[in-house]
Structures are given as C-alpha cells and as structure tokens.
Amino acid sequence: MSLKKASKNSLGYKISIIIVICSILIGGCTFVPNCFTGDQLNSVNITFDLKSKNNFSFHDLFFIFYKSGEELSYKNGKTLHKTLTLNNLSSKNQQLYLVSDQFILENVEFSYEEEGKWKTASSGWGRPMLERMVPSYLHSFNVTVPARSTKEVFFKVENTYQVTKLPLKIMSKKQFYAYYYKLLIMDGLVIMALLTSILFSIYNIIFSPRYRKMLWLYLVYAVNFLAFYCLRVVAPSVTLEAIPVEYNYLINIAIFTSTYTFLRFAVAFVDTGEIKENKYVSWLIDILFVLTILVSLFPSQVNNPLFFVIKLTFFVGTILYHSVFLIMSLRKNVLAKIYIVMALPLILSGMMEGLTNIFGIIELPSDLFAAFRVSIVLEMLFILFALIYRERFIGKRIKKKLMDTELQLATAQIEIQESEQKRIAQDLHDDLGGTLATLKRFVYDKLSPQKEEDKEQLNYLAKKAGDDLRRISHALMPPDFERAGLVDSVREVILMNNGPGRTIAFQEHGKRQTVSPNSALHIYRIFSEIIQNINKHSKATEILVQFLWSKDELTLMVEDDGSVFNEKNEGLGMKNMKMRASYLNGSINFDHNEKGSTIILEIPL
C-alpha cells in the first residue's frame, strides 16, 4: 500500500513540475514577438465592393462563429493605419456602419471626406458614448457612399496597454441596431447572472456556515468578474467623463484575481477527502498570484519582459493545474465530473480570450467574445445548481456515514449483549443451578424428621426456584437454538409463559422460508422482549402470536387485550427492539387502543 501511495504521489509531483516548466516556457518563448517599442506603423489597404442588396438575416443575428468582416491583429505599442476603399456598385446611395466590438481599443480615429472636407471622429475605451460619432459602447462610425462611386476612409488605432486588434463589421443601419441590441441583451444577461451569483453567495454565507470558505471564494470570483466586465464593457455606457486609459491596464488585476479564485473555488468544490492537491504547486501558484498582482500595479511597465513572463506563467499555469487537478479527480469524485461539465465552457473560452486579447499569443475571431458571454451566463447558472446539488450530495454522504457509524455501534452493542447473555446463561445453568440442587438436597435431609407440610413447602419453593432459573436461562440463550430453529424456540417461550389466567395462541401463515441463524436470533430476542414486557406491565388475558411468511419478508404480529406500549417513554427494552430491527433492515411498529395493543415486526428475508 505504501509503495502504491508513494508512486501516486510521485506521479502527482511529476505532473506538477511539468505544468510549471510548460508555463514558464510558454511565458518566455512567446514574449518576444508580442511586444514592440516605439511608434511602429503598419498600413493596410482593403477594398470592399458594395452590392445593391444588404439585408440583415436570421443567420447573422444568431450564429456566433462566422467571418463578418476584415480583422487584422497587431501587438502592444504598435500603431495601425487602415485604409478602406468602398466601391458602391449599386444605383442607390449606401449608408454604412463600420463597427468594431473590440472594447479594449484605447484610441480609434476615423477619417472620412464629406462635402469636400476631411473630418475625423474618435472613439476608444473610456470615452463617453455621447462623445462618439454613433452613441453606443461599440466603436462604430457611419458613412454614406454615393451611387456608382468610390470612397476612401481611414482608420488609425493606437493601443498602449492592450493588444491592438481591429475587427471590422460593415453593416447597414438595420443590421447595426439589431447587432447592437443583441449585444445589449447578452451583456444584460451576463450582469444579471453575475449579480444573482453574488446575492446567492452572500445569502448562503450568512445562512450556510458549513460551506462559508468555498462560498467566500465564489463571491470574490463573481465580484471581480463583475468588476472586470462592467469596467471594460459597460463603462462607456454610463460614464459622462473620459476614463484614464491607465485603468484599462489595471482592469487586468480583476481578471487575474477571478482566475485565481476560480481555481481555488474549483479545488474546494470537488474536495470531499478522496484526493488532495499538491501543496507545493499550490504554494507556487499563490506566490505567482501575488507577484502578478504586484507587477500589474505599474502601467508604465507594460512592456517589461520579466513582468510579462510572470503574468503569463501565472495565467497559463493556473489554468493547466486547474485542468489536471480536475482530470485526476474524475475517477474518484462525482463532483469533479459535474464541475468539468459546468465550468468547461468558461475555462476554454476564458483561456482563449486571455491568450488573444491580454497576451496576444494567438489570434482568434473576435466573435469568440460572444461565445465568452454565453459561457459566462451558462456557467453561472450551472454553478448555482451545482452548489445546491453539492450541498445535498455532501449532506447525503454525511448522513450515510452517520448511519454506518450508528450501525457499527449497534452491531458492536448487540454482539456484546449476545456474548454476555450466553455467558450469564451458561453460568446460571452450570453454577447457580447446581448450587440450588445441592441446597435442596441438603435442606431436605436436615428437615426429614420435621413435619410433612414443611417438606412440601420446601419442595414447592425449590421447584419454583429451578423453574425460574430455567426460564431466565432460556430467555438469555435457549439451549440448542440453532438446532431447534426460530419457530420452535418461539413455541417454547409461549409454552413457558402460558399459565392460569393467561392464554397465548400461536398461528403460522404462508410457506415457511429460510432465515439466517443471525437474523433468527435477533427476531427471537425481539419476541422475548415483547413477552417480557407483557409479563411485567400488562393485565392481558389473551395473546395471539402470528408468523406471516411471504417470499421476501417475515412479519411477526403480537396482539393482546391488555398491554400498552408508550413509545414516548421508551426504556432500554424498547430501544433494544428498535436497534435490532434496524440492524436487520426491518421495522417495528407499536399500536394501542382501549382494547389492547398490536406490535408488528417486519423483516426482509
């Protein structure tokens, strides 16, 4: 066992080391082509031919992954100049909207000619909507191209703190507003999902202290995600004054914090004791997180190679470790399976979004961010349901463990009782029985000359003492119980307790089934306890004992016309009966009225 455990630990350490090395290599190797210094320029000329029909289709509205326009990507610190040549091939004037949903762009200048004069309109992150050419949180500009003519427009894009990427969509007015309202609805759903998650966390932190640590992690994650989303996406919709572009860089702190707390929440969510995370890799991620937050506090160091490597290593390493830990938990933990299904869309889309727009390592269509929105909404809803399921799942496990513990204690108690009863019965039979017989003989010899009535009294008392001894001894452990069987042993108890003023009848219905010796002994004990209680507390004159056999169950029913069993004031005997019935996965019920009592014991076979 120890070698097996050691090999598993060794495998975990190897995987953890590989994760760290891969993260550092990715961070170091991808830095060089992603960062530029100075005002490097890049000019691109693109020609669009405009047709006469330009309607907004159902496909455009609901399909996420489609190429809807030209998209050119450049990296931090690089200025992009883009020339668009628009050819109107139709016989009507065309009013166009040039739209980009790349919110992180800090400065977008759009130059166009109108009535013989060149004009410039500006947009950018942090610029109020009312100061934009088209009032929206998108970078959107409109231009009219006369019929059968050509028009050139120019874009200049500058980004200091984020990846420079200009995805363009060319739309009609109808298309633009349909697209814009679709994004508003999606962003509203995202914010509603995040707010719901925050309120859910706060409520359960107050009223469910058992999971307080996990819920605090989820709350911090949701709050940071909401801060990131509102500041980066929604801020232009509500601000009346320009926001300094340095804040565009500082928003990344919320992204890194939500990434870290998402990992910690995942570990806490699937933690049920079967698998432990590697503490050394956990410490390393904690250290990288602190370093990442520290280096993210200095916007002026955006192009610092060391700072870039630290942030990228933390981001990639956290996601890789998160994924490996969940995969290693799959075989042992059903919660890990639920969590992977729940969080996989957000993990994948979040990683792609970060590697594309934060670090500029890969280039993906800008419409991926629409999938990111959808994954946030789905993930938040999944987590709410998963947290409820987890609470019930853990509750059932705790309840099962308690039941198992109670069963083990009951089993141990019953075994101790059986052992003691056997010992006491044997001692009574061997020691006290012999002593009474010797005493009887001795006293009888001494009193032989005395009166005959004294002898009769002595014989009566000696016989009664012997009968009582046999009855008690049989009640503790009937002789040859396994040989006689359950039914015959019950008949013997009935025979011994029948007497003047009391009649005990026995009936058996159904085909007799095989009962294991252990179960038979417990049923016998319960029956003996019932008869003992009737003897002690009842004025019953008639008792009916019935065995009702079926293929899967034995029912023992005892009815009398005088006893009263009060479950509210149960003593040791009643507790023992219930404990033995529970031990056999059965049940015992007590019912009484003015005419008497009925006790029903049901035991599965």
Tokens linked to 595: 């005419």
Which of 329-338, 500-509, 567-576 shows the highest mean pLDDT?
500-509
* The CATH fold of domain 35-176: Immunoglobulin-like (2.60.40)
Mean pLDDT along residues 334-363: 69
Q: Residue 279 has which token pair? A: 């503490």
pLDDT per residue as tens digits for the range 484-519 = 788 888 888 888 888 777 888 999 988 888 888 888
Q: Would you state the pLDDT for residue 498?
A: 81
Question: Comparing 121 with 240, which gets the higher pLDDT?
Answer: 121
Amino acid at 539: K
Tell me: the pLDDT tens digits for 504-558? 899 998 888 888 888 888 888 888 888 888 877 777 888 899 999 988 889 999 9
Q: Which tokens go with 229?
A: 């989303």
pLDDT at residue 10 is higher than 60: no
DSSP 44-104: EEEEEEEPS--PPPHHHHH--S---S-EEE--EEEEEEEEEEEEE-SSS-EEEEEEE--TT
Burial of 443 (0-12, 13-18, 19+ CB in 10 A): middle
Ordered DSSP codes for 158-224 = E-SSS--EEE-EEE-HHHHHHHHHHHHHHHHHHHHHHHHHHHHHHHHHHH-GGGHHHHHHHHHHHHH
Task: Identify the top-confidence range among 61-75, 310-324, 544-558, 561-575.
Answer: 544-558
Confidence of residue 290 (pLDDT cuts 50, 70, 90): very high
Q: Per mean pLDDT, which range of 82-86, 278-282, 437-441, 565-569 is the poorest? A: 565-569
Q: Please state, in angstroms and as integers, the Cα–Cα distance from residue 79 to each residue in 64, 132, 240, following that order.
A: 29, 21, 27
**Structural domain boundaries in the chain:** 2-33+184-403, 35-176, 483-605
Structure tokens at 362: 């890969």
Class for domain 483-605, per CATH? alpha beta
pLDDT at 59: 36
- Find out whether 541 and 562 touch, Cβ atoms under 8 Å: yes
Is 71 a residue whose pLDDT tops 90? no
Q: Which residues contact 159 (CB under 8 A, 6 or more apart)?
A: 76, 77, 78, 104, 105, 106, 107
The CATH fold assigned to 2-33+184-403 is Rhopdopsin 7-helix transmembrane proteins (1.20.1070)
pLDDT at 601 over 70: yes
257 or 79: which carries more pLDDT confidence?
257
- Whether residue 64 is predicted with pLDDT greater than 70 in this model: the reply is no
Question: What mean pLDDT comes out for the span 401-427?
Answer: 65
Strand partners for 82:
44, 155
> For the chain, what percent of residues have pLDDT higher than 70?
61
Report residue 335 CA to chain centroid gap. Answer: 5
| 110 token code pair | 């759009």
